Structure 1
């Protein structure tokens, strides 16, 4: 009988292979446009990769991929000094009810990820009984350790679209971007298992509350979150043998999972340790059977679980080191994540020659990548603010761990001498010279840091010195800590008091560790506090920063009183690849009183809907001048990778003039320059109800334009009731001599209602402010068009909002935004 499903699958496979070949060729063509040297290196890399492909695949298919490394209690001593947690630190920092609510959803395997809405994720069947792969026996053995009433999770499922990948597919054969609506980021996001830290924090809260009332902790409460933690990890390990299925297709996601496993494990472990200390004080406790047991022997976690957990952490490290996302001259946050993951894993696992080489490699490459991926002005080189924070979130926790490596790790580093094995280049290299260390009989103790939320997330604390004159540990070259200071300065400048950042460039909602999940307790402010904490532990002072010009990123900040504007004008990022930048040259975002008013519409998605991906990075989706049928920078639309490339930086945007309240910039994306001038003018004066008063109207450059005279009687106060006026005006001039209709868009934040007047003015009421927007070309008032659009606050999410558009055939278009206090 003809099997229609098999025919269809074969057809799709052939189509994917054809596009895959085109993809590789397309990459090389694009690379030649950016750098012929990099392209030649890539050709050699692809040749070696294809030569090894069949051999590697055969090895994975014919052999058990679970590791046979001997892991026992004596061999794997967990260095908890790096991750010690003081349980009482966080209760005042978080919404207890919300944490417990989210933990309850996790217990039911309900997840809301990347706009999916809350959905239960359940595997329909157990391990395929017909599976004859050498891993199958081990899978069933591990599966037997899971509680009988536990429901298995489908780790291959995009539970937003319903599409599922095959868990038996070798990870290098996993394909995506060929079926509209199917988004591989959904199972990847689930597989990062950041939600395990919610379980750990819920257990922390419960322990804290019970400890306050001095109650003996009940066994069923102990097991509630801990057993779910163990069951989910055993479920993952048994369902996802190393190298098979969607969860091993991206090394970066393997990293994020390992980091969250380690941090969650250590939170649980610290709770267990504290609980045992409490019961030891009681000397002996009675079990539910009435038998007396020595509570000091209670570990909380089963030995079988710890064996498979530790072995899997090693397997994660092995997979990362064998799949480094490195390329000469063409690498980014994925490789930075790989390095961070290796440092976490190597700091967590015991000293072996192999693991010590991972740590040595990780330290040297972290130093190299800090200087490579972060610009001199502290911004990230990918031209995306969200990716800047993601990359910084990788760097600073890793640096914090390195500052507190225990002595046995330092001794292991000392034994490796003046060279290290570079796993990316596959050869030995001399140490970078960007770091050094001292061993001086240190006695490390970790205390709660001043920033309690940081202590929870990182376990970074203070250090006591042992004997000797020099402080033991790792010290970094001035080039490194100066760059870290600038990363902090850039971050602190672009974030407001409520933790909101402008959405410039791509935003895939990526995080290394969980800092959101509806909790709104950490977010970007937590990352900023972490930066300060680590820099402070390096003994570096942080000065107040008033910098508003970041030429390397191409970001300029106009600010006066309650208004702040972020103007984009500069590099497309990634050394010309432009993979995470948008066509947003001369666009801006405007905040009024910490509230976003004019916004960047965001990113929404990557590969699931290619047309929407390109729409959200197009010029017309930004607050700048656009022309129908033209883009500031062009891209291909043939293969999946085209969604992360531009053909060439033809915009060549540059700043012409800049001050705190004045900006002029231009780009060449239309062949003929588009020049934009922005100016903030402020006014403050007092008048009486009869129109007489005192005060001044001032422009943004401080020159007085109008003085209202004092009352005739010489008194300081005008007659009648007093009206205080404190208004701000933003004026804009767009100039382009291209003989085409020109459009200027203003995308307003969701929740702001636009009202249109008969005089061609649109009015927006923000509650405490009235905002009026108008435009003219010459003496003619341009009539506004008000349209709906979809604003994307994060990956996979869209909400309806409104935008205003003005159109004109003239070369010079003038517009103004008046912000009036109600």
Structure 2
């Protein structure tokens, strides 16, 4: 509630009043809708024909251990560790906060699951659950945060779902599981090993989800983005199974077609559009809706969806991907998420202009350039480990190889054969020519720093810093030197989302250094969002980054968990053999110069005095007070920085 008050106080009075009235009206509308819709069946009638998009099987040698875990409904998501997700389970809790357990289901579990729902959809839900053909099948508890144990009610309308309201509770956990992103990997494993038990498990998990989550109700219909991502994954998984030779009964495919229609209608009615600050959520809405339109049999409704999506995707690619190929949300991890969505969907729908495809062809170059010699990306801004379609299970959140493979399938070499390149090439039916990037470096004129502090970083093998290439992304605000052994970057640029800063950190002028696989200085990551707002702000803080300091002051206020004050206004003054940049976030402007010479990385901050030399990452961390545990992905926190 406090962050909502801060957010309101940051707005002009008329804007805050208008938003407050809109918020109250939405709550009233949802409450009335909940009452009126309880007696209505939320499912579209069964029926319809699905259209296949893939012509040949795509395989991948997934580990048998992972497949066994999924068959036993054990999932490892967002830092949970392998956890069995079932009704009545006890979960470990998050940061001392533990809820539940919920009720265990009786032997007649179908009746119990259906009875928990409102009367209007019970008959249809029972029909769906009755199609599950395994006598020993144990239903998944789709409504539970299987880290904290907190459980949402299936009788709450999706638009009325509360989150961020109890300590330790993370709505992203059930959302992540309900994206069903493990199902395409399951299909690839079936194509590799021909284990028909995987076909049966896919069918039963889909029916379990559909019968336990009536459209519009419960936590898994609260966010249109997650509904859209789920739609794309369940439809692609079905197509991958079919391409590999699996067959399904008519009743199942009828329910799947009905589900695609329900998902498409829900997304179309709940588009996350905002005139100023729409971002990856709206992009996901468009992409998931396009998958529904592409896989459903031809109809005027599906045709209208596809026409809408083609127009909107074209506009959003040009809007959300900057001229240098980077994403506009000031986050390297969200760059991957949005790029995946755009690439898969552009391939699926076709018909996009050359200028749009040219812009899209540049996204892989950015991903490649922000990858350090260790294979991990530099984390700038938030990292919620979000993906659109994950064809390989248990990829590192900091490994962008799959995005590079995806782009190669659409724009690259004919002989590039990976699951990502194969799928996207089949969806597109062709390859496109990649645009040549226009390299832009800021000016190289003289800059007067005056009196400054000087920090010399001296690696054990100075030769590792020889032959560095300077790479600039001025639209994103990232300036890089790299070779096969070393990576040095400086963050200096816009906070993203047209000044909203929803996924930005107080990291202006932050330096990241990796030499011979050793991280001397690195962004600590994100850790979590709403379950721990103290940790949320700690990981966003300037004190967590290798930036110029002004005591414990922040260069911009945290207005809300997903809004950063646009105060620092960082600007690069020079980049080439060295970097010079400034920001205005403190009581007076600060400037930083970074230069690599004589086998040393030298960091000069103005105003300041004195000179220090560090010869190890530990010395640097102690000097700058960089003590937060490193978070390589959402919910993950390593013991040491």
Q: TM-score range by the shorter chain?
A: 0.7 to 0.9
Secondary structure, in 3 states, of the residue corresponding to 2:558?
A: coil
Shift of 1:374: 1.4
* Aligned residues of 1:516 and 1:522 also touching (Cα < 8 A): no
| 2:209 paired residue number | 236
Match of 1:645 among 563, 587, 601: 563
Does residue 674 in structure 1 map to residue 590 in structure 2?
yes
| 1:398 paired residue number | 345
2:177 and 2:530 map into 1 onto residues whose CA distance is: 17
Does residue 65 in structure 1 map to residue 58 in structure 2?
no
Secondary structure, in 3 states, of the residue corresponding to 1:665?
A: strand
Q: Which moved more, 1:511-520 or 1:667-676?
A: 511-520
Shift of 1:111: 0.8
* Aligned residues of 2:34 and 2:156 also touching (Cα < 8 A): no
* Aligned residues of 1:196 and 1:264 also touching (Cα < 8 A): yes
Does residue 144 in structure 1 map to residue 144 in structure 2?
no
Report matched runs for 1:733-748 at 5 Å: 733-736=604-607
Does residue 227 in structure 1 map to residue 200 in structure 2?
yes
Secondary structure, in 3 states, of the residue corresponding to 2:120?
A: coil
Match of 1:118 among 40, 60, 82: 82
Does residue 305 in structure 1 map to residue 252 in structure 2?
yes
Match of 2:274 among 319, 327, 336: 327
1:787 and 1:606 map into 2 onto residues whose CA distance is: 20
| 2:477 paired residue number | 554
1:326 and 1:251 map into 2 onto residues whose CA distance is: 11
Secondary structure, in 3 states, of the residue corresponding to 2:342?
A: helix
Match of 1:601 among 524, 530, 533: 524
| Alignment CA distance shift 1:543-1:327 (3 Å) | closer
Shift of 1:168: 1.3
| 1:710 paired residue number | none
Does residue 493 in structure 1 map to residue 410 in structure 2?
no
* Aligned residues of 1:761 and 1:772 also touching (Cα < 8 A): no
2:479 and 2:266 map into 1 onto residues whose CA distance is: 41
Shift of 1:626: 2.4
Shift of 1:55: 4.8
Bigger RCO (CA 8 Å, 6+ sep):
2
* Aligned residues of 2:358 and 2:435 also touching (Cα < 8 A): no
Secondary structure, in 3 states, of the residue corresponding to 2:480?
A: strand
| 1:105 paired residue number | 69
| 2:459 paired residue number | none
Report matched runs for 1:55-454 at 5 Å: 55-68=32-45, 71-72=47-48, 76-78=49-51, 80=52, 82-87=53-58, 90-91=59-60, 96=61, 99-123=63-87, 124-125=104-105, 126-127=112-113, 129=115, 133-146=119-132, 147-207=134-194, 221-222=195-196, 224-272=197-245, 300-403=247-350
| 1:657 paired residue number | 574
2:116 and 2:401 map into 1 onto residues whose CA distance is: 51
Match of 1:540 among 420, 424, 433: 433
* Aligned residues of 2:34 and 2:157 also touching (Cα < 8 A): yes
Structure 2 residue runs of 5 or longer lacking an equivalent are 88-103, 106-111, 413-429, 440-468
Q: Deviations over 1:680-737 (max 9, x none)?
A: 014xxxxxxxxxxxxxxxxxxxxxxxxxxxxxxxxxxxxxxxxxxxxx2111111126
2:633 and 2:204 map into 1 onto residues whose CA distance is: 30
Secondary structure, in 3 states, of the residue corresponding to 2:272?
A: coil
Higher strand content, 1 or 2 = 1
* TM-score in terms of structure 1 length: 0.65
Q: Deviations over 1:491-533 (max 9, x none)?
A: 2322246642101100000001115532569951221222233
| 2:424 paired residue number | none
1:522 and 1:656 map into 2 onto residues whose CA distance is: 30
| Alignment CA distance shift 1:111-1:541 (3 Å) | closer
CA RMSD, aligned part only?
2.9
| Alignment CA distance shift 1:510-1:634 (3 Å) | same
Shift of 1:385: 0.5
The number of aligned residues is: 571
1:743 and 1:83 map into 2 onto residues whose CA distance is: 64
* Aligned residues of 1:557 and 1:567 also touching (Cα < 8 A): yes
Q: Deviations over 1:301-330 (max 9, x none)?
A: 122111111111110111100110111112
Q: Deviations over 1:620-674 (max 9, x none)?
A: 00011223441010123xxxxx10012x311111111110x31011111112112
Structure 1 residue runs of 5 or longer lacking an equivalent are 1-18, 208-220, 274-299, 404-473, 637-641, 683-727, 745-759, 765-770, 776-782, 803-822
2:173 and 2:11 map into 1 onto residues whose CA distance is: 29
1:330 and 1:673 map into 2 onto residues whose CA distance is: 28
Report matched runs for 1:585-734 at 5 Å: 585-593=508-516, 596-636=519-559, 642-646=560-564, 648-659=565-576, 661-682=577-598, 728-734=599-605
1:313 and 1:249 map into 2 onto residues whose CA distance is: 17
| Alignment CA distance shift 1:311-1:363 (3 Å) | same
1:743 and 1:71 map into 2 onto residues whose CA distance is: 75
- From the CA coordinates, give the structure whose radius of gyration is larger: 1
